[in-house]
């Protein structure tokens, strides 16, 4: 394998990426669009781009992803894609009948310079958008950012196009969940419901990309935040945004556009981050924390206490999405594990490194943006091997090459199931993560144990 020729000597690279630790913006934008009820995502570019974005999401969720494309050819590449998009909008509403179409750009349409706002206005003027239907858009060039920033851009566009302030505050709480699994979004809603908080979560992909198999095809599954719900977000009392990279821009726009105060939190992965989320909901809604949630928290603390000896001092390396990495770092350090490396291909800014440092200290190597790829991550691992690697499916090649146990988390995960249905956020998610980590460590301990130490009780 080529991985075995990865050198240990580290070198800064500013113009070359080898095996990027991310995927492109349109994938995240398409995923966010699926979180709107009766929405059809639309890729303004070539058929090949749309096919890749759909394929990536379909392979990850094991569910068919519906999306359309402007189907650029040589003519559109030279003269622009306005005619293609106008025809596409007309066909989509005529044939597929969605409530809303969410358009995102690709490299090709960005390089051409298509003005999607102007094209949508022309579609309205030409009567191609039926009364009561909506078309929104966001710009997501694949040559910058990542799937996380694409998600953020589409979520921000939901606020830009849909959220309205009527002047009548409803008392509800907006929750912007960030780039997480549908199972995580369902868990966030469950916690909110247990606390008696009236909330709107958007985007919401629960019961969209992890729906049940009932023998019938559903072009638009029953899940997702409705257009009316997102519109009413402009009248909410407060916004809780989870994950700075994926959610903060939408929360800021809600504040600017509709005067909705917000609190920016880390994703509620682990005990401390979930505590902060629950406390923010408690204060924003003026409610108390029910005993049922306190029982869940106590169970997590009990599991951690019972098995602390297995976690203590274990060396770990993390690669993936910035918002997940920050919360995961906090969780693992709370478990007294040692963080060696944190790498993300998403440009995450100074706040990302500052947050990680706040949990780990100066000894942890942190890299994001240019040069932060899986090749660099592999070099770090070769220099000082961790006990565990946390990352997506692509990290398994490094894990196998270096004989290190991999805990799969993040996007994409092509070779396992469960992430669609079992959360990693909240106290239940923390319990699941500890179980995965503990089982991985003990399986490795059994595998490596000499005969005389292969015991039932360790």
Which phi-psi region, left, alpha or beta, contains residue 75 (left: φ > 0; alpha: ψ -120 to 50)? alpha
The residues that bridge with 174 in the sheet, in sequence order, are 200, 239
Residues 6 or more apart from 239 whose CB is under 8 A from it? 173, 174, 175, 176, 233, 251, 254, 255, 260, 261, 262, 263
Element (H, E) at 254: helix 244-258
Rounded Cα distance between 263 and 281, Å, is: 10
Annotated catalytic, 111? yes
Residue 51 CB neighbours (<10 A): 13
Angstrom distances, CA of residue 117 to CA of 11, 122, 139, 365, 405? 43, 9, 10, 42, 48
Lookup result for tokens 């009548």: 168
- C-alpha distances (whole Å) from 383 to each of 7, 315, 325, 398 are 10, 13, 21, 13
CB neighbours of residue 128 within 10 Å = 21
Question: Which residue, among 217, 230, 102, 232, has the nearest Cα to 167 in the 3D structure?
Answer: 232
| H helix intervals, 384-425 | 396-402
Residues ≥6 apart with Cβ < 8 Å to 223: 37, 182, 204, 205, 206, 207, 208, 211
Nearest residue to 147 (alpha-carbon basis) of 308, 4, 32? 32
Paired tokens of 391: 């990352």
Q: Which of 24, 39, 103, 107 is catalytic?
A: 107
From residue 370, how far is each of 14, 17, 345 by CA, in Å? 6, 7, 7
Catalytic annotation, pick one of 111, 295, 301, 417: 111
**Pairing assessment for the beta strands 134-138 and 68-69 based on DSSP bridges:** unpaired
Cβ atoms of 111 and 81 closer than 8 Å:
no
Kindly report the number of other CB atoms within 10 A of residue 306's CB atom: 11
> Residue 387, class by beta-carbon neighbours within 10 Å (0-12 exposed, 13-18 middle, 19+ buried)?
middle
DSSP state of 2: G
Distance CA 144, CA 346 (A): 9
What is the set of active-site residues?
A: 107, 111
């Amino acid at each position: 394998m080529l991985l075995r020729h990865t050198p240990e000597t580290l070198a800064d690279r500013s113009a070359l990426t080898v095996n990027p630790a991310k995927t492109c913006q349109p994938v995240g934008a398409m995923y966010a669009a699926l979180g709107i009820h009766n929405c059809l995502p639309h890729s303004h570019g070539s058929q090949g781009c749309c096919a890749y974005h759909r394929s990536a999401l379909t392979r990850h969720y094991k569910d068919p992803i519906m999306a359309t494309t402007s189907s650029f050819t040589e003519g559109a590449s030279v003269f622009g894609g306005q005619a293609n998009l106008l025809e596409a909008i007309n066909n989509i509403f005529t044939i597929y009948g969605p409530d809303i179409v969410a358009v995102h750009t690709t490299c090709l349409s960005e390089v051409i310079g298509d003005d999607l706002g102007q094209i949508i206005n022309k579609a309205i003027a030409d009567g191609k958008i039926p009364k009561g239907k909506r078309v929104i858009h966001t710009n997501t060039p694949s040559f910058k950012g990542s799937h996380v920033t694409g998600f953020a851009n589409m979520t921000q566009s939901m606020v830009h196009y849909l959220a309205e302030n009527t002047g009548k505050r409803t008392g509800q709480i907006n929750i912007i969940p960030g780039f997480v699994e549908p199972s995580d979004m369902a868990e966030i809603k469950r916690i909110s419901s247990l606390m008696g908080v009236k909330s709107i979560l958007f985007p919401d992909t629960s019961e969209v990309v992890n729906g049940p198999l009932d023998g019938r095809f559903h072009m638009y599954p029953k899940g997702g935040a409705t257009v009316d719900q997102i519109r009413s977000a402009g009248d909410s009392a407060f916004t809780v945004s989870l994950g700075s990279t994926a959610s903060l821009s939408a929360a800021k726009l809600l504040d600017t556009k509709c005067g909705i105060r917000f609190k920016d939190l880390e994703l509620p992965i682990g005990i401390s981050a979930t505590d902060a989320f629950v406390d923010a909901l408690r204060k924003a809604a003026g409610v108390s924390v029910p005993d049922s949630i306190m029982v869940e928290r106590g169970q997590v603390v009990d599991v951690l206490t019972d098995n602390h000896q297995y976690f203590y001092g274990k060396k770990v390396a993390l690669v993936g999405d910035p918002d997940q990495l920050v919360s995961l770092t906090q969780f693992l350090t709370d478990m007294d594990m040692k963080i060696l490396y944190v790498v993300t291909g998403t440009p995450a800014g100074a706040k990302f490194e500052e947050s990680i440092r706040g949990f780990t200290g100066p000894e942890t190597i942190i890299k994001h943006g240019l040069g932060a790829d899986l090749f660099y991550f592999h070099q770090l691992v070769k220099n000082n091997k961790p006990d565990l690697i946390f990352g997506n499916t692509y990290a398994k090649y490094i894990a196998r090459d270096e004989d290190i146990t991999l805990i799969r988390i993040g996007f994409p995960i092509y070779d396992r199931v469960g992430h669609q249905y079992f959360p990693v956020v909240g106290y239940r998610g923390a319990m699941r993560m500890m179980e995965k980590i503990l089982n991985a460590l003990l399986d490795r301990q059994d595998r490596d144990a000499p005969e005389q130490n292969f015991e039932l009780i360790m």
